[in-house]
Amino acid sequence: MSQALQADLRGQTAIVTGASQGLGRQVAISLALNGARVACIARNAEKLADTISTITAQGGTGEAFTCDVAQRESVDQLVDKIAEDWGKIDILVNNAGITQDTLMLRMTDEQWDAVINTNLRGSFLFARAAARHMLSSRYGRIINMSSVSGIIGNAGQTNYSASKAGLIGMTRSLSKELAKRKITVNAVAPGFIESDMTKALGDSILSEVTKRIPANRLGTAEDVAACVLFLASPAASYVTGQVLIVDGGMTG
């Protein structure tokens, strides 16, 4: 994989949730190829195995862990195990997320709870568990994967947009709590990114979407991973509490 951005993460350990596919997979690969040892977390063991095989084939180091990110005991136990086995936790990327789209009047309580629990509660649980170890070492990078939907909203995504807006609020609050211990907390907010989900929209809709993007193209997973890599690097030590929008200028 060709990398436009590189960082020296040798000797660092990272956790990436939702690492089995899409943005999480690319982020995990990017961190590993820049020297980090990466704990790749998701529910699907088979897809996680593919992520790990890609990392190792390119000379990186990664290990797969299955976990329900919304279950506190499971999260605490897993993070503690990684910290104990690997010695420390330097980087956390909260990427795990789901969608259950429908208009608000049709949205069930279960659809609301499922999205909020995975996208927002899960990120909180991992941030709290990882921060305990980062505080001890007085160093850390926490990156939360938000979305432009959390900034501008999107019809049919009340639950998803609320979860992503919540991540922005959580990011800004945690950054103020942790900055004195040299732990930065930032969010990345992607716009329309090439994926199986966007392909399912069809060519006509994608054509209209692209017209709304000044860059005149959809983003790629590599575009997003490069931003995460910067925020995870030592070079970003004075950047905290920020939301980095990666949308080709769509939100202006």
pLDDT digits (tens, 9 = 90+) for 216-232: 999 999 999 999 999 99
Q: How high is the pLDDT of residue 5?
A: 86
The average pLDDT across 226-251 equals: 97
| Residue closest to 167 by CA, chosen among 181, 192, 152, 147 | 147
Q: How high is the pLDDT of residue 111?
A: 98
Query: What DSSP string runs through the chain?
Result: ---S-----TT-EEEEESTTSHHHHHHHHHHHHTT-EEEEEES-HHHHHHHHHHHHHTT-EEEEEE--TT-HHHHHHHHHHHHHHHS---EEEE---------GGG--HHHHHHHHIIIIIHHHHHHHHHHHHHHHHT-EEEEEE--THHHH--TT-HHHHHHHHHHHHHHHHHHHHHGGGTEEEEEEEE-SB-SHHHHTT-HHHHHHHHHT-TTSS-B-HHHHHHHHHHHHSGGGTT--S-EEEESTTTT-
Active-site option among 65, 139, 160, 192: 160
Helix axes 122-137, 72-86, angle to 10 degrees: 30
Q: How high is the pLDDT of residue 90?
A: 98
Is there a catalytic annotation at residue 160?
Answer: yes
Q: How high is the pLDDT of residue 201?
A: 74
Q: What is the pLDDT of residues 102-144, one digit of tens each?
A: 999 999 999 999 999 999 999 999 999 999 999 999 999 999 9
| Tokens at 251, concatenated | 């939100």
| Residue closest to 66 by CA, chosen among 32, 94, 43 | 43
| Tokens at 164, concatenated | 């992503």
Question: How far is residue 13 from each of residues 9, 32, 60, 204, measured CA to CA in Å?
Answer: 8, 9, 12, 43
Question: How far is residue 200 from each of residues 194, 234, 244, measured CA to CA in Å?
Answer: 10, 38, 26
| Angle at alpha carbon of residue 127, lines to 146 and 158, rounded to 5° | 35
Q: What is the pLDDT of residues 31-57, one digit of tens each?
A: 999 999 999 999 999 999 999 999 999
Is the sign of the CA dihedral 223, 26, 95, 202 positive or negative? positive
Instruction: Report the C-alpha gap between 213 and 188 in whole angstroms.
Output: 18
Instruction: Report the C-alpha gap between 56 and 50 in whole angstroms.
Output: 10
User: Would you give the distance in Å from CA 184 to the centre of its chain?
Assistant: 15
Task: Give 71's pLDDT tier (boundaries 50, 70, 90).
Answer: very high
Instruction: Give me the residues paired with residue 245 across strands.
Output: 189
Q: What is the pLDDT of residues 145-203, one digit of tens each?
A: 999 999 999 999 999 999 999 999 999 999 999 999 999 999 999 999 998 777 877 88
Task: Give 1's pLDDT tier (boundaries 50, 70, 90).
Answer: very low
The average pLDDT across 47-68 equals: 97
Q: How high is the pLDDT of residue 3?
A: 60
